[in-house]
A and B are shown apart, each in its own frame.
Chain A
């Protein structure tokens, strides 16, 4: 089955610890994204990558880091510098735009991070 997987589904972290969230896709998509969702709110973009070994900051990148060493993988590290990391994290991917195609983003199931 083609799709996007995120692991773990639930993650607990102590204050001061870094933690890495996994995102893998087998859709052969070039672009990948990380979003954060707080209760009762929409999604906000953390980081995105349009190609391997390249990524850009989104609207709320402070306290987060990413890497893109492989096309299918885009892990997100939540560092101790992130002041309020408890949230729901969603990963997405899309094809690069060519001709008339649209870059619809498809989402993974998400990871719920709780800082204790």
Chain B
């Protein structure tokens, strides 16, 4: 079974600065997807970024980028130019490639990010 670990329960960052969230996972599969979701105080889960394991290029979405290290099974998220609206829980999630697995997402425990003015 896959597991996802987020080792930082909470992080704080000054507005306009950069913060990096760590995520490691364990799988025996070679092809899979990785995601970062954001959950603000409203509790709505919002997709931040996704990465396909077969792509070597790291995904980027505006101020959000990832550092995907397949051999190390590491998938960190960098938030640049942090904004107050970035304050939220951030969840790392894994999804296997196999259709038989039902496209299930396995989530980490989350990292709470607080952006300070």
Q: Which residues of A contact B (CB under 8 A)?
A: 31, 33, 40-45, 48, 50, 56, 58, 88, 90, 92, 94, 97, 102-110
- Contacts A48-B102, A97-B99 given; does A41 touch B43 at CB 8 Å: no
Q: A90-B45, A94-B103, A109-B42 are in contact. List 11 more A-B contacts (CB 8 A).
A: A41-B110, A42-B107, A43-B105, A43-B107, A45-B105, A88-B43, A92-B45, A97-B103, A103-B95, A105-B105, A107-B37
Q: Which residues of B contact A (CB under 8 A)?
A: 4, 33, 35, 37, 42-47, 50, 52, 91, 95, 99, 102-105, 107-110
Nearest CB in chain A: distance from B86 CB, A = 18
23 chain-A/chain-B pairs, Cβ below 8 angstroms: A33-B105, A40-B109, A41-B109, A42-B4, A42-B109, A43-B45, A45-B105, A48-B102, A48-B103, A48-B104, A50-B102, A56-B102, A90-B45, A97-B99, A102-B52, A103-B33, A103-B103, A104-B47, A105-B103, A106-B47, A108-B44, A109-B42, A110-B44
A102 partner residues in chain B, CB cutoff 8 A: 33, 50, 52
Residue of B45, B47, B95, B108 ringed by the most chain A CB atoms within 10 A: B45
A41 partner residues in chain B, CB cutoff 8 A: 109-110
Question: CA–CA, A56 to B104, complex, Å?
Answer: 11
Contact of B103 among A31, A43, A107 (CB under 8 A): A31
Chain B residue nearest to A44 (CB atoms) is B107
Whether A109 pairs with B102 at a CB distance below 8 angstroms is no
Chain B residue nearest to A88 (CB atoms) is B43
A109 partner residues in chain B, CB cutoff 8 A: 42-44
Question: CA–CA, A97 to B101, complex, Å?
Answer: 12
For the complex of A and B, 8 pairs with smallest distance between CB atoms: A42-B107, A107-B45, A103-B103, A43-B107, A42-B109, A109-B44, A110-B43, A48-B102
Nearest CB in chain B: distance from A40 CB, A = 8
B99 partner residues in chain A, CB cutoff 8 A: 97
Residue of A31, A92, A107, A108 ringed by the most chain B CB atoms within 10 A: A107
B91 partner residues in chain A, CB cutoff 8 A: 42-43
Question: CA–CA, A103 to B44, complex, Å?
Answer: 19
A97 partner residues in chain B, CB cutoff 8 A: 99, 103
